[in-house]
Amino acid sequence: MANNGLEAVKVLEDKLFDVVLMDLSMPYMDGAEATLVIRESENQRNRNIPIIFVTTNDFEHERIRCMQSGADDYLIKPIDIEQLLKSIDFHIKEKQEIF
């Protein structure tokens, strides 16, 4: 768990995860900025880790910005757990094909 986008980037440098659930509204570095930094990482795994936004920002321009930064999905809170699990499963399987 990270308290802001900058922490999220740093945590991913030190630990391995299967998926990232990212919020858009965070201090210091928002989720879209953090996603862009993660995607530009020298770490191949971070460049390909599934990043799924889970946010209250139901604005099309924000969804587009997040997807352009490298997000794999953009889900609006409150989250339907089945939808979240399907998204996680789909994107993990899709990214495993890269490795």
pTM assigned to the model: 0.92
List pLDDT tens digits, range 12-43.
998 989 999 999 999 999 999 999 999 999 88
**Extents of the domains making up the chain:** 5-96
d(CA 15, CA 30) in angstroms, rounded, equals 20
Residue 96 confidence (pLDDT): 75
On the question of pLDDT at 99 being above 60, the answer is no
Domain 5-96 in CATH 3.40.50.2300? The answer is yes
Residue 98 confidence (pLDDT): 62
Supply the DSSP symbol for 15: S
List pLDDT tens digits, range 42-98.
888 888 999 999 999 999 999 999 999 999 999 999 999 999 999 999 999 987 766
For residue 79, which of 56, 61, 49, 60 has the smallest C-alpha distance? Answer: 56
The residues pairing with 73 across neighbouring beta strands, listed in sequence order, are 52
d(CA 14, CA 32) in angstroms, rounded, equals 20
Residue 94 confidence (pLDDT): 87
Non-local (6+) Cβ contacts of 83 within 8 A are: 75
